[in-house]
Amino acid sequence: RKEVEQDPGPFNVPEGATVAFNCTYSNSASQSFFWYRQDCRKEPKLLMSVYSSGNEDGRFTAQLNRASQYISLLIRDSKLSDSATYLCVVGHNDMRFGAGTRLTVKP
């Protein structure tokens, strides 16, 4: 079983749609959780940290369910510029990256 698993997609959605990504992790002792985005042929960039109480940053909402070892990212009112690969990242002694979920937002 992979340490961090994501649905690879691709997700193709129209502008304005709401889209949700899911991620599961295997190490129950994991302590930190993040979402990164990676544009084609660029470096990953931190999108947001994920807290136990859930957190929101504008159109983006992240949730953590420790009991189910599950993380989610919700994007509301999606924009063309949201097109990217979204990486789920889980930290224990170091950080492990999921393979990413590719999102394409179409006009």
Q: Which of 45, 66, 79, 106: binder of another protein (CB under 8 A)?
A: 45
Could you say whether residue 104 binds another protein (CB under 8 A)? no
Which of 76/96 has CB closer to another protein? 96
Which residue, 92, 18, 22, 102, is CA-closest to 59? 18
Q: Which of 31, 53, 68, 81: binder of another protein (CB under 8 A)?
A: 31
H/E stretch holding 63 reads strand 60-65
**What DSSP character marks residue 7?**
-
Contact assessment for residue 89 and residue 101, using Cβ atoms and an 8 Å cutoff:
no
Quote the CA–CA distance of 59 and 29 in Å, as a whole number: 30
Distances 9 to 37, 52, 85, 92 between C-alpha atoms, Å: 14, 26, 9, 26
We find the least distance from the C-beta atom of residue 95 to another protein, in angstroms, to be: 5
Which of 33/63 has CB closer to another protein? 33
Select the span of 14-22, 30-38, 53-61, 69-77 touching another protein (CB under 8 A): 30-38
Binding site for another protein (CB under 8 A): 31-32, 34, 41-46, 49, 87, 91-100
